[in-house]
Amino acid sequence: MNERDALRVRDLAWLLLSVAVVIAPHALRVPVWIAVFCAIALVLRFETGWRKKNLPGRWLLTMAALACVAGVLLSYRTLLGRDSGVALLILMASLKLLEMRRSRDIAVVVSLAYFISITNFFYTQTIATAFYTFGAVWLITATMVGLQHRVQAADVRRMIRVSGVMLWQAIPVMLILFVLFPRVQGPLWGLPQTQYSGKSGLSETMSPGSLSELSLSDEVAFRAQFEGSRPSVKQLYWRGPVMWSYDGRTWRTEPPRAAATGDARYEALGPELRYSVTLEPHDQRWLFLLDMPAKLPPGSLLTADLQVLNPRLIRNRLRYEATSVTAYRYGAQISQSDLRRALALPPDAAPRARGLARDWAMESSDPRRIVARALDYFRSQPYVYTLAPPPIEGDATDGFLFETRRGFCEHYASSFVVLMRAAGVPARVVTGYLGGEFNPLDGYLVVRQSDAHAWAEVWIAGEGWVRVDPTGVVSPQRVETGLAAAVPATDPLPLLRRTSAAWLRELRYTFDAMTNAWNQWVLAYTPERQRNFLGSIGLSNVDWQDMVIALFVATGAVLLVVALAMLRRFAAPPADPAQRIWLRFCDALAARGVTRRLHEGPRDFALRSGTQLPRLRARIERVAKLYVRLRYGAERSAALAAELKREVEAVRTA
Amino acid sequence: MRLTQRRVYILPTRAGLLFALSLVLMLIGSINYSLSLGYALTFLLAGVGVVSMLHTWRNLAHLSLRPGKADPTFAGERARFHIAVENAGRLPRTSLAIEWPGQAPVHFDVPPASQRTVEVSLLAGKRGLLRAGRFRIFTVFPLGLFYAWANVELDLSCVVYPQPEQGRVALPAAQASTGEGAAAGSGEDDFAGLRTYYPGDAPNRIAWKAAARSELLLTKQFSGAAAAELWLEYAQIPDRLGVEGRLSRLARWVLDASMAGMRYGLRVPSLEIGPAIGQAHRTRCLEALALYGIAP
């Protein structure tokens, strides 16, 4: 066969379409030159196939391959990383297309197409991605079916149907393997360091504008599920980074200091709340627990200021269980160094605010009175809670307190703590999330980046650290109901946070519940989750050997069912009653040594068998005549069929 | 012969092994990067692979094969065998192939509840009875990952005539068979027309000019031999040609005589075929030459 004719143009088109579909999601991520290179290779390959031209020579392709490697090295500075590996893979697949001649090359291209489709999961594993990839796999499989039509080009519907049937039958196998295949905690080898930039979330610093910017993001920070009754939204202070040091504009966390035994001693004033959190990766170590953490997730670390830290940076979705008490008293003892740090202010910061605070301190030395005085100040002055605060000129605290008076939670928390420290009350800034939204469909609380919040804690002798949220004074709705109700309608709020459109909210709830179920059951199916799940269906304490046995048994059962369904279809099409009787008659004669030949009609067969079995000749002829009348004649009477049956029975028993 | 489950064997193809290798790599990648969807995709493809094995097997199993007719041919040419493949079930069978060792496979489809006749050709090396022997029916449909095959031996045989001798070979002199007088001539003189080429026609009788104009090979026919009667005798041919050489020459004579429209008879040791004309006679003579000296 001529090598240029080896691949039909239509098969080639399907193959190129498959490759294009698996490369497309990557094309948006890789440098432009790579996407352009792949597109050119695809078009070029189609053109050569279409016009039956020769493919580029070997040396040209070798040069192109070397140029691609050099290009990837220039663009990524490495060949080993995940991203550069993917880039190389799609470039080499495109080049392979240009030297695709024989069926062996085609097999390589098909395998590469499957392989590229899995690399997309490095970047996204949403439901939409899953559907897209399933479609891509269907397309590739249909292409393979088309390629195997050797006699004539396949009918498109048949390609899609045959491949669809196989995928459909493969789904039970997939489910069994997915559930039972012993999961291993990755990685098998050190993961290449990858840039995780662009993850939004709370950070180690807080300056004016940092939280209001974060609040514009609709991204989910984490989801929580409570055991028992739901707490009210205003109890939901999710504790994150705690900040002590202030440089006049920016607040910073301290290097983490493990809690000494006395630090976390607390007195519970209410019931315990048990809940589990599924945290989205944020490339930091904080685990968000409700104030105040009572029982920590295993393996986590508690700092002296009650931040809960994961041992490693959180780069995969993480699920943990915890217990908190929302009404508590803690931190009655404070060390001198903590006291010093909780009162420190840069000497030149906020001169006007310091003057105001000194006045309050003169009036009363009782810290409770000073706190009340400050909150009163926020309440009585025309402060506005807004997502779009105007830029502040000069000192950050003074500018906000006395000039703009429009700010988001970080402005209120920051200036409140500055005022407290200036008045001699130990205070610190706590950032985290406030509230969240219960999804009525699955009962999960969804906490988004837009729920990011900052509040203050003051230390009062005899009471310990007490939470004070100055934002709640300015805008009670923020604490009671949430962000959307609290900010002016003209503020640029993320679309999904607007509460007005009911249908939109419904849609969002549905979408979110689906995403959550997906995350919980598909993406977070870890070794631990596998153990739990197998335990819940009565397979507790199975080791991996048992799992492998179960795996083989279950897969074998599925394949057996498929095979039996296939065997049934080997049989001839269901015959009409007359034909069934006739076939029985043929079997009876075959048992006597006269087998009907395939080309023999009833009359010929009757003639031949009649001569070979003269004793039955009369009956045989009657049977044939009846059968011909029943099957080919116009009349279909039941009496005739019964007669045929009688005659055949007579032949059988004769 | 019916391809029952037991007769059908199955093994992965090279493409299938490559596919399996990619699946292993995908699984390792999924474990290393904790890609849940990676696991799912790998397992889905593994399922497709295993299911495709069943589909490949099913594409071949439960077919019935029967020997069909085989036209006689001359030694050195290709013998064409016919094999009837019947699919009694409801499934279309796609991209089946029949293959003899060392020969290019012949691909064909068999729609549901129907029968296909597949023509395969084998080189007929020497005269006699050519038995087709064992062949293989196989398929890699639908994905090319598995190769299912069955080895089949059908009662397929074909008569191979001796290769007609090439070059200028004159017919033996004709004898007057009746009292009407001398033979009208050797049949070389008067051009009578053209007829289609038969294998064995002498090259110098082929109408090359006419062949260049049309697609068909045509042979010039000459008249003047109608009344002649000819005995083609083994004994007339010199010994030095050997048995096969003599049979070759006899075959050539049979063809030439038949083409010229003469009445001819054949005499070989132990067999005599009386003078006659026509296709059936020609076939009978050639068959006798083909099977000469071969135990039936």
Catalytic annotation, pick one of A38, A395, A453, A512: A453
Cβ-based neighbours of B294, under 8 Å, separated by 6 or more = B128, B129
A586 catalytic, yes or no?
no
pLDDT for the residue A1: 36
pLDDT for the residue B182: 39
Q: Which amino acid is residue B206, in one-letter code?
A: I
Question: B148 near B57, Cβ under 8 Å?
Answer: yes
pLDDT for the residue B185: 42
* Interface membership of A103 toward B (CB under 8 Å): yes
Phi and psi of A284, rounded to 5°? -135, 180
User: How confident is the model over A223-252, as pLDDT tens digits?
Assistant: 999 988 888 888 899 999 999 999 988 999
Nearest neighbour of A174 by CB, restricted to B31, B35, B47? B47
Which has the minimum average pLDDT: A94-103, A193-202, A547-556? A193-202
Chain A residue closest to B94 (CA)? A149
Which has the minimum average pLDDT: A88-97, A337-346, B229-238? B229-238
A154 pLDDT higher than 90: no
Chain A residue closest to B88 (CA)? A572
Residue A524 CB neighbours (<10 A): 17
pLDDT for the residue B215: 67
Distance from C-alpha of A86 to C-alpha of A80, rounded to nearest angstrom: 10
DSSP state of B2: B
Nearest neighbour of B40 by CB, restricted to A145, A178, A569? A178
Question: A342 near A421, Cβ under 8 Å?
Answer: yes
pLDDT for the residue A186: 64
Distance from C-alpha of A552 to C-alpha of A530, rounded to nearest angstrom: 17
Q: Hey, what are B267's tokens?
A: 């005499």
How far is A71 from chain B, CA to nearest CA, in Å?
25
Nearest neighbour of A178 by CB, restricted to B34, B39, B144? B39
B189 pLDDT higher than 60: no
Residue A636 binned pLDDT confidence (cut-offs 50, 70, 90): low
Catalytic annotation, pick one of A409, A411, A451, A586: A409
Average pLDDT, chain A: 86
Distance from C-alpha of A539 to C-alpha of B218, rounded to nearest angstrom: 83
pLDDT for the residue B171: 81
- How far CA A541 is from CA of A103, A183, A482, in Å, comes to 48, 14, 45
User: How confident is the model over A298-317, as pLDDT tens digits?
Assistant: 888 888 888 999 988 888 78
Percent of chain A whose pLDDT exceeds 70: 92
* Mean pLDDT on A468-473: 90
3-state secondary structure of A492: coil
pLDDT for the residue B180: 42
Strand residue runs (E) in A199-271? 205-206, 220-226, 237-246, 251-253, 266-268
* Subunit contact A189:B54, Cβ cutoff 8 A: no
Chain B residues near residue A181 by CB distance under 8 angstroms: 39, 43
Contacts 24+ apart (CB under 8 A), B109-112: B109/A151, B109/A152, B110/B63, B110/B85, B110/B86, B111/B87, B112/A573, B112/B87
Nearest neighbour of A151 by CB, restricted to B15, B31, B109? B109
B196 pLDDT higher than 80: no
User: How confident is the model over A32-49, as pLDDT tens digits?
Assistant: 999 999 999 999 999 998
Buried b (16+ CB within 10 A) or exposed e, B146-162: bbbbbebebebbbbbbb
Chain B residue closest to A170 (CA)? B47
| Partner residues linked to A448 by β-bridges | A220
Q: What pTM, to 2 d.p., does this model score? A: 0.71
Residue B6 binned pLDDT confidence (cut-offs 50, 70, 90): confident
pLDDT for the residue A80: 81
* Subunit contact A524:B36, Cβ cutoff 8 A: yes
Cβ-based neighbours of B40, under 8 Å, separated by 6 or more = A130, A174, A178, A522
- Judging by beta carbons within 10 Å of its beta carbon (0-12, 13-18, 19+), is residue A467 exposed, middle or buried? middle
How far is A157 from chain B, CA to nearest CA, in Å?
14
pLDDT for the residue B283: 92
Q: Does the ipTM surpass 0.85? A: no
pLDDT for the residue A493: 62
Cβ-based neighbours of A174, under 8 Å, separated by 6 or more = B40, B43, B44, B46, B47
* Interface membership of A141 toward B (CB under 8 Å): yes
User: How confident is the model over B247-260, as pLDDT tens digits?
Assistant: 999 999 999 888 88
pLDDT for the residue A68: 94
User: How confident is the model over A484-534, as pLDDT tens digits?
Assistant: 667 766 666 665 565 566 777 788 788 888 888 888 888 878 787 888 888
A469 catalytic, yes or no?
yes
A395 catalytic, yes or no?
no
A588 pLDDT higher than 70: yes
